[in-house]
């Protein structure tokens, strides 16, 4: 029986569909300590953002994993900040800053051209 030697890939389910601020806050406030529901919610946002760049499969998988791990850190910071909690922006908008910061650290990274 031949064994498949395919590399792990990131499966696409859908494009990110943001929720209203109150719904995002409800997810954050009712989530577990690992913020697993929040990670699930932001998974497609991360994938959408990473698809905009020319990344190798390994880079894509690694960045996706690292950004999912950052969700917990970002959620705790967002919830502990009076400024963030009282602001008009949503957590998903706040988290895009984490994505941008992480992606901007990659030297020589190029954006994909628009089709």
Residue-level pLDDT at 2: 47
Burial level of 16, CB count in 10 A (0-12/13-18/19+)?
Answer: middle
- The residue assigned the tokens 């990274």 is 109
* DSSP reduced 3-state for 111: strand
Residue-level pLDDT at 108: 74
Residue-level pLDDT at 5: 46
Q: CA-CA distance, 10 to 21, in Å (whole number)?
A: 27
Task: List, in sequence order, the alpha helices (H) in 8-56.
Answer: 21-30, 36-50
**Domain edges within the chain:** 21-104
* Kind and range of the H or E run holding 76: helix 57-80
Neighbours of 70 (CB within 10 A): 18
- For residue range 8-32, what is the model confidence (pLDDT) as tens digits? 556 655 699 999 999 999 999 999 9
Residue 6 has pLDDT above 90, yes or no: no
| 1 confidence band (pLDDT: 50, 70, 90) | very low
Residue 88 has pLDDT above 70, yes or no: yes
Residue-level pLDDT at 114: 61
- The residue assigned the tokens 């390994």 is 58
Residue-level pLDDT at 11: 60
Q: CA-CA distance, 21 to 18, in Å (whole number)?
A: 9
More confident residue, 29 or 3: 29
Cβ-proximal residues to 94 (8 Å cutoff; 6+ apart), any chain = 74, 78, 84
- For residue range 28-86, what is the model confidence (pLDDT) as tens digits? 999 999 999 999 999 999 999 999 888 889 989 999 999 999 999 999 999 999 998 88
């Amino acid at each position: 029986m031949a064994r498949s030697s395919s590399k792990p890939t990131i499966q696409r389910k859908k494009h990110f569909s943001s929720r209203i601020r109150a719904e995002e806050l409800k997810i954050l406030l009712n989530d577990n300590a690992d913020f697993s529901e929040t990670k699930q919610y932001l998974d497609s946002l991360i994938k959408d953002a990473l698809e905009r760049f020319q990344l190798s499969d390994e880079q894509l998988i690694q960045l996706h994993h690292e950004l999912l791990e950052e969700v917990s850190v970002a959620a705790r910071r967002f919830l502990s900040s009076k400024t963030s909690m009282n602001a008009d922006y949503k957590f998903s908008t706040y988290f895009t800053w984490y994505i941008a910061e992480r992606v901007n650290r990659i030297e020589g990274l190029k954006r994909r051209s628009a089709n």
